[in-house]
Amino acid sequence: MYCLGMREISDEEHAERLQMIREQARRDAEALAPRPGRPIYGLAAPSLGPADVTQYQLSDGERTAVTLTYGQPASPAEPYVAVTTMTQADSDPTQMGGLEAELRYAVKDELHRAASSAGVGETERSEPLVVTRETLPAGPALVCRTGTLWVARLLPSDPPTDSIVVRVVGMGVEPESVRLEPVADVRPIIETRTAMLEAMMERARRRPSPPPPRPKVELEPAEGVAALLALAQFTLTSSADRRARFQARQQPRSDPDWGAMHNALWQRAVREHQRLRGTDPRAADDAVTVAVNHLGFLQEKAPWFTADPRLRATAIDETIRHAMLGDAVPSGPAQDAWARYWSAHVTRLGRQREPIDPLAMMSAREALTDDCHRAWAAWAATA
């Protein structure tokens, strides 16, 4: 789970975001215009709501992959299906080992996305990954399943009749019930989604901003570094509880005061950063965001962070002093590695549906994650 800050969006930023959405929609429509011999497949059944173009990839100006998603992938409890149509340039479908590895990697990435949507980060799965060759309504396929999640790669005929292959991801929907059909034109999908986004932004803009919530329990006094420490301890404790309940398949705790307390702690940390560093509200909010997410990353990814109280306390102290005071700390290389990771993460969020290479994106994310792990491991070995 990532916290993306709590500052208000100005009218100027609102207008810029609207323009970005419209410009992105225009580029999407141009890139995905119908082309002879390049079909795009979508979901014919079951009915899961309107489609969205969630990803596409270009190579030398030519479309090589398009993903249409149906349902509510952001909600772990709701079913969804994602259909990816991609070129079959040099893949050999007889190499089952290669396809199995691809499907297992896709399942792992989808589990990461689903867990992040639930606000818990990655977590271990008790269900095994099972890969089988099956005959689905759309044709023969290699299917990888774990629990209610599955990923299917349709296998081309022998010899292949066209130059594309299709991969389908499903959650809460049986692969035997999925039927596909060519989508003649994705422009209506893009236009509908753009109109929905604009309407949502306009409603949010017209809605009066509520007064900042006040916690029923007053905050303990804290200034400077202590203000960010209080926020960090609150978010780490909350995250650990959510993670434990998610792994136990229990509903998250309902605390009506959580949002008010989190907001009050966050805003105080931002104000203290402004006071100590002379930053404006946006820069202060960004600094708090980076630090809070850095500590959340360590709690999820670094075993020593939860196993060794001394290292945990030291890592928290150095991360907070680095963020609030700009101190040079022994974990400086790890702080720099996280800054690179976070910069890439924020850049991905800002791209909306910009054409990307999914495998390249996952590889880059893993490389940046490994950099953080190595830097912190080196620090932990001598701290």
- Of 111, 116, 118, 120, residue with least CA distance to 169: 111
Tens of pLDDT, residues 261-286? 999 999 999 999 999 999 999 899 99
Same domain, residue pair 102 and 174: yes
**pLDDT value for 260:** 86
What number of other Cβ atoms are within 10 A of residue 98's Cβ?
Answer: 12
Q: Per-residue DSSP letters for 216-283?
A: SSPPPP--THHHHHHHHHHHHHHHHHHHHHHHTT-PPP--TTHHHHHHHHHHHHHHHHHHHH---HHH
Q: How many domains does the chain have?
A: 2
C-alpha count within 13 angstroms, C-beta hemisphere, residue 365: 12
Q: What are the φ/ψ torsions at residue 234 (nearest 5 degrees)?
A: -65, -50
Same domain, residue pair 271 and 136: no
**Domain end among 184, 210, 235:** 184
For the chain, residues with pLDDT lower than 70 are 1-10, 74-77, 88-97, 114-127, 157-162, 205-217, 246-254, 346-363
SS3 187: helix
Positive/negative CA dihedral, 58, 62, 63, 64: negative
**pLDDT value for 148:** 86
Residue 361 within any structural domain of the chain: yes
**pLDDT value for 347:** 57
Q: How far is CA 31 from the centre of its chain?
A: 24
Same domain, residue pair 156 and 285: no
Same domain, residue pair 269 and 120: no
Residue 354 within any structural domain of the chain: yes
**pLDDT value for 115:** 64
In sequence order, the 6+-apart residues with CB closer than 8 A to the CB of 360 are none
**pLDDT value for 239:** 86
Same domain, residue pair 245 and 103: no
Same domain, residue pair 170 and 298: no
**pLDDT value for 212:** 53
**Domain end among 184, 210, 233:** 184
Same domain, residue pair 180 and 325: no
Residue 42 within any structural domain of the chain: yes
**pLDDT value for 215:** 46
Residue 207 within any structural domain of the chain: no
Report pTM.
0.58
Give the separation between CA 83 and CA 67, rounded to whole angstroms: 5
Give the separation between CA 83 and CA 28, rounded to whole angstroms: 17
Same domain, residue pair 40 and 164: yes
SS3 3: coil
Residue 23 within any structural domain of the chain: no
Residue 7 within any structural domain of the chain: no
Same domain, residue pair 352 and 247: yes
Same domain, residue pair 289 and 175: no
Mean pLDDT of the chain: 82
Same domain, residue pair 317 and 175: no
Domain residues for 330?
Answer: 225-382
Give the separation between CA 153 and CA 168, rounded to whole angstroms: 7
Same domain, residue pair 161 and 260: no
Give the separation between CA 40 and CA 241, rounded to whole angstroms: 43
Residue 148 within any structural domain of the chain: yes
Residue 197 within any structural domain of the chain: no
**Domain end among 184, 215, 246:** 184
